[in-house]
Amino acid sequence: MKTESRKFYRNLRSSISQAEAHSEGALCLKHLRHLVRGDALYLYAPIFSEIDTQSIFDFFSIHLKIGLPVIEGNEMIFYQLDSWSDLEPGKFGLEPPRRKRMRPESETMVIPGLAFSKSGERLGLGKGFYDKFLSKHPKLFRIGLAYAFQISQKEWELEAHDEPMDFVVCPSGIWGSSRKTKIGIEPIIG
């Protein structure tokens, strides 16, 4: 089921233009402003038509340290990014320079996905980098970032390593879940 779902959502997302991805990212920012906690934010540079995070970076980098991931071997490591223009081509798209390694504690992480279930589970690309990272950093506040069509009406089979989100932010609103009680996602701000 996950393989079919990945293909379905990958195809849907591939129709999004770069301009739409940027615009949707700016709309998500208005909701993220109310959720981000801590003095560091862990973001991603978009690949494969993911929601663009540049406007999120621009807004939060004034007050917070921002980390972006680099894949080194089988591990995801975050490095501080001081300017979006410092991004450089890497193995999985644009990456921050490997100068200042960041060590997450209880700050906020914004996480991409192909889809998010109504119970707060994330369907990623299938490599497991985010799930592994989140399992090692359980205190991180987890926010999935998605287009509205990425909130799945169907559930998929969960695996032991799947890591749920605390909230999912879409351009149209915030969906909340409780990963501790598994109460399911409900729209809480629209």
Q: Which amino acid is at 54?
A: Q
- Residue 173 CB contacts under 8 Å (≥ 6 apart), including other chains: 31, 187, 188, 189, 190
Number of structural domains found in the chain: 1
For residues 178 and 67, what is the distance between their CA atoms, to the nearest angstrom?
25
Q: What mean pLDDT do residues 39-50 have? A: 95
DSSP state of 51: P
Task: Report pLDDT for 2.
Answer: 75
On the question of pLDDT at 89 being above 60, the answer is yes
pLDDT digits (tens, 9 = 90+) for 144-162: 999 999 988 776 666 778 8
The CATH number for 78's domain is 3.40.50.10420
DSSP state of 4: H
Whole-number average pLDDT of the chain? 88
Q: Among 7-16, 66-75, 77-86, name the one with the lowest average pLDDT.
A: 7-16
Is residue 1 very low, low, confident or very high in pLDDT (cuts 50, 70, 90)? low
Is residue 177 very low, low, confident or very high in pLDDT (cuts 50, 70, 90)? low
Structural domain span for residue 8: 2-189
Report CA-CA distances (Å) from 27 to 21, 47, 49, 153. Answer: 10, 18, 16, 23
DSSP state of 170: E
Q: Does residue 53 or residue 183 have the better pLDDT? A: 53
Q: Which pTM does this prediction carry? A: 0.88
Q: What mean pLDDT do residues 35-39 have? A: 93
On the question of pLDDT at 182 being above 50, the answer is no
| Residues constituting the chain | 190
On the question of pLDDT at 181 being above 50, the answer is no
On the question of pLDDT at 183 being above 50, the answer is no
Q: Does residue 15 or residue 121 have the better pLDDT? A: 15
